[in-house]
Amino acid sequence: MGSGRVQPRALRPGGRTTRVRAQVLQAAGDVLAEQGFTHLDLADVARRAGVGKTTVYRRWGTVAGLVADLLIDMAEQSLPRTETGILLDDLKANAQLVRRTLADARQGSLFKSIIAAAMCDARAASAMHGFYDTRIAEWVPCVQQAIERGEVPQGTDTHKVIRAVSAPLYYHLLVTGDSIDETMADQAAQAAVIAARAGVYMRPGHS
Amino acid sequence: MGSGRVQPRALRPGGRTTRVRAQVLQAAGDVLAEQGFTHLDLADVARRAGVGKTTVYRRWGTVAGLVADLLIDMAEQSLPRTETGILLDDLKANAQLVRRTLADARQGSLFKSIIAAAMCDARAASAMHGFYDTRIAEWVPCVQQAIERGEVPQGTDTHKVIRAVSAPLYYHLLVTGDSIDETMADQAAQAAVIAARAGVYMRPGHS
DNA sequence: CCATTAAGGGAACTGGAGTCCTGTTATGGG
DNA sequence: CCCATAACAGGACTCCAGTTCCCTTAATGG
């Protein structure tokens, strides 16, 4: 092929491309929060973002693809984590953070839309799994430290403990529509700690 | 208005109407399980049900409306409940029932689609809440009996205990796509019992 | 049985989501 | 500073989900 140096891919992440992505993701988040998953058409997103409709279709293709990219973006924006030195208090802080997120008008609606997308499309689903993996991993050290302090038994599955905190809150969102009160969030943390102490969340292969 | 007796509503629940509903709901469930929420168009449902497209649009109108009616139908089909006399065993049975439902190819996909619908539409959401209310209420007596036996403290919120069993299973479905193993279901039951015994799920106003 | 009228069926119509084509902008290398 | 081209913008086009209109079927009451 003569001089055909196969350029592996000459992407242009500079200026405009990045700006367009930011604008589109912002608009997509707005629409998802305001109108919901089913009312999201890409033309509308493009209009709000002040961007050509073709661009959105070319780069993201489908609603689910857009949600997937939005989740990747969200996962990168890490939230600060408290560290009190007492497992219960750390988990209460986590539970309250989740509660506030789901209670917030914009964030709450946005998460509902994201869940809807994940239930409909495999790509959006795995993006969401990645998002939660990231968020859960941020809080795992709390449990790890509790193990080292002897608060919970050796061989405890740290991820399971963190998941046990959020689970009742998300489930509540699912089965009853109403928002989660602070008491319930604290209860979720308490239940997680008590079960972890009792050795319910042991990794397989530990006594 | 002369002879205008205002007939409150002269519905015809006989033969055909009921049959059409059953056929349409069956088809709707099939499509939701096979194709998912986003790929559900009412014309396709009508074709599968062997029913006129207009009929489906007239009676149910939207995808969400169809899901709502499907949930009402599902809530009516009650499932048998075991009663062992030991709270942990009862809740393990419940957890395994939920696990099997979500693990089943058809049922699992169907539930994902239903959740998607509920996250998009208020009517579908309240239908789903009603469905879960029914299902949870069926298992509440297990906890009530445990209170009477003294297994868990007086003043325990029975509904919260039942919800605590399902919560980790649904959350797992959400956060990681993979199916739920039997160990995890048992753990969910164990955690619920331990937390309930410790008095985490007390109704407000009890010591 | 027959009359009445809910309820269903068929087919043409329509609006907007998604695609395609063509021209324009601005990024990055030299 | 300039060229090559990645990436964007605009508008015409297509196709089908959802609507509308009108006719047919069959449930109900007497």
The answer to whether position A121 is within a domain reads yes
Chain A CA closest to residue B113: A119
Contact B191 A115 (CB under 8 A): no
Nearest to B194 among A118, A183, A198 (CB): A198
Q: Which domain, by its residues, includes B101?
A: 75-197
Residue with tokens 């039997």: B182
Per-residue pLDDT at B2: 34
Whole-number Cα distances in Å, B10 to A17, A18, B5, B6, B16:
62, 62, 12, 10, 15
The answer to whether position B65 is within a domain reads no
Query: What is the CATH classification number for the domain harbouring A111?
Result: 1.10.357.10
The answer to whether position B117 is within a domain reads yes
The answer to whether position B91 is within a domain reads yes
User: Residue A2 pLDDT more than 50?
Assistant: no
The answer to whether position A24 is within a domain reads no
Distance from CA of B15 to the nearest CA of A (A): 34
Catalogue the long-range contacts made by A26-31 (C-beta closer than 8 Å, 24 or more residues apart).
A28/A66, A28/A67, A28/A70, A29/A70, A29/A110
> Which amino acid is located at B10 in the chain?
A
User: Residue A189 pLDDT more than 80?
Assistant: yes
The 10s digit of each residue's pLDDT in A32-73 is: 999 999 999 999 999 999 999 999 999 999 999 999 999 999
Chain A CA closest to residue B190: A200
Per-residue pLDDT at B78: 82
Whole-number Cα distances in Å, A77 to A72, A73, A138, B58, B83:
9, 7, 12, 46, 48
Give percent of chain A above pLDDT 70: 92
> Which amino acid is located at A3 in the chain?
S
User: Residue A158 pLDDT more than 90?
Assistant: yes
Confidence of residue A10 (pLDDT cuts 50, 70, 90): low
> Is B75 near chain A, with CB under 8 Å?
no
Alpha helices in chain B (DSSP H): 15-34, 42-49, 53-59, 63-76, 87-103, 105-120, 122-149, 158-175, 182-197
Residue A156 has phi, psi (to 5 degrees) of -70, 140
User: Residue A8 pLDDT more than 70?
Assistant: no
Nearest to B170 by CA among B157, B160, B162, B180: B180
* Cα A161 from Cα A74, distance rounded (Å): 23
For residue A152, count CB atoms less than 10 angstroms from its CB and return exposed for 0-12, middle for 13-18, buried for 19 or more: buried
Q: How many domains does chain B have?
A: 1
Give percent of chain A above pLDDT 90: 85
Round to a whole number and report the distance in Å from the CA of A64 to the C1' of C18: 14
User: Residue B7 pLDDT more than 60?
Assistant: no
How many Cβ pairs within 8 Å bridge chains A and B?
128
The answer to whether position B47 is within a domain reads no
User: Residue A9 pLDDT more than 70?
Assistant: no
- Nucleic chain C contacts, Cβ below 7 Å: A 12-17, 41-44, 53-54, 57, 61-63; B 7, 10-13, 16-17, 20-21, 50-55, 58-59
Contact B120 A132 (CB under 8 A): no
Q: Which residues of B touch A119 (CB under 8 A)?
A: 36-37, 112-113, 115-116, 119
The 10s digit of each residue's pLDDT in B74-101 is: 999 988 898 999 999 999 999 999 999 9
User: Residue A15 pLDDT more than 80?
Assistant: no
Nearest to A165 by CA among A102, A90, A111, A91: A91
Catalogue the long-range contacts made by B6-10 (C-beta closer than 8 Å, 24 or more residues apart).
none
The answer to whether position B18 is within a domain reads no
The answer to whether position A116 is within a domain reads yes
Chain A CA closest to residue B125: A177
Most B CBs within 10 A among A123, A175, A193, A201, hence the mutation to make, goes to A175
The 10s digit of each residue's pLDDT in A104-122 is: 999 999 999 999 999 999 9
Nearest to B169 by CA among B117, B113, B101, B115: B101
Please provide the average confidence, as pLDDT, over all residues in chain A: 92
